[in-house]
Amino acid sequence: MRDIVTILGVPIDRITKKEAGEITEKLIKESNKTCKMIFAPNTEFIMYAQKDKQYYELLKKSELSTPDSIGVIIAGKLQHKPFKERIPGQAYFREIIELSNEKGYSIYLLGGEEGIPEKAKENLQKIYPNVNIIGTHHGYFTPEEEKDVIAEINALKPNVLFVALGAPKQEKWIAEHQHELQVDVAAGQGGTYDYEAGKIKRAPVWIQKIGMEWLWRLILQPSRIIRMRVLPIFLLKILFTKDITKGKFDKE
């Protein structure tokens, strides 16, 4: 049974990073290439889901959703169901990379600019010599090229397909192709390859610990301000909504 906190209609699991790895392993073993969906909803996802019913519905269909942002952690506390820890996207990614390094699970990296998933793979192989990354492809393919991308993934049949196309595109892409992708699990991954490739620097650990990583990212990528304007609105919503488990599209 999943231990879930629902925030404005979006379910998120109360798990540690280690447990997220164990659940993923279990899904890999049971999936039989049926593409179980794994998401990492943050406040932007949840707010976007309030205005896009399709996105709202697909976020509910994940087999695992990890708590990725400080806003989500605060919402858990407000419901008196605190999350065990925040699991940043890259931390979950590394957990799976470590499992691949130890147990040989095969991984495909889809997304990022041309050369980025390859550079991420190269850097990861220096740290984890046995990591089993069996394929990579950038995330700027045309609708015509998409068929070939899916054919390559299906020829390789990885255990884990990481998809980094940014939200909401990556979750929508996974859901749209769920029934044709022959992978055990597909996980939305945001900007993780950019960090792994050394393109963007992650916040120092102490900044991550005090929950200020969003500010660090804003300083490095000021264009994110447009996306981040939803954060105060999210906080107001969860503070003043009577039932914060319910989202806009839930029937009263």
- Kindly list the residues in this chain that would bind ligand UDP in the complex (CB under 6 A): 89, 111-113, 139-140, 164-167, 169, 190-191, 193-194
Q: Provide the CB-side half-sphere exposure for 120 (13 A, CA).
A: 32
Distance CA 183, CA 31 (A): 8
> Which is closer to ligand UDP, CB of 166 or CB of 211?
166
> Which is closer to ligand UDP, CB of 63 or CB of 68?
68
> Which is closer to ligand UDP, CB of 50 or CB of 170?
170
> Which is closer to ligand UDP, CB of 28 or CB of 168?
168
Distance CA 248, CA 240 (A): 14
> Which is closer to ligand UDP, CB of 157 or CB of 169?
169
Least Cβ distance, residue 45 to ligand UDP (angstroms): 8
Least Cβ distance, residue 63 to ligand UDP (angstroms): 20
Distance in angstroms between the alpha carbons of the first and the last residue of the chain: 25
Least Cβ distance, residue 167 to ligand UDP (angstroms): 5
Please classify residue 128 by burial: count the beta carbons closer than 10 Å to its beta carbon, then call 0-12 exposed, 13-18 middle and 19+ buried: middle
> Which is closer to ligand UDP, CB of 122 or CB of 243?
122
Least Cβ distance, residue 138 to ligand UDP (angstroms): 6
Least Cβ distance, residue 94 to ligand UDP (angstroms): 14
Least Cβ distance, residue 107 to ligand UDP (angstroms): 17
> Which is closer to ligand UDP, CB of 36 or CB of 138?
138
**Contact indicator for 76, 83 with CB cutoff of 8 Å:** yes
Least Cβ distance, residue 47 to ligand UDP (angstroms): 13
- Which long-range contacts (C-beta less than 8 Å, at least 24 apart) are formed by 165-172? 165/110, 165/111, 165/139, 166/190, 166/191, 167/42, 167/44, 167/45, 167/48, 168/45, 168/48, 168/52, 168/55, 170/111, 171/37, 171/39, 171/45, 171/55, 171/58, 171/59, 172/54, 172/55, 172/58
**Contact indicator for 7, 244 with CB cutoff of 8 Å:** yes
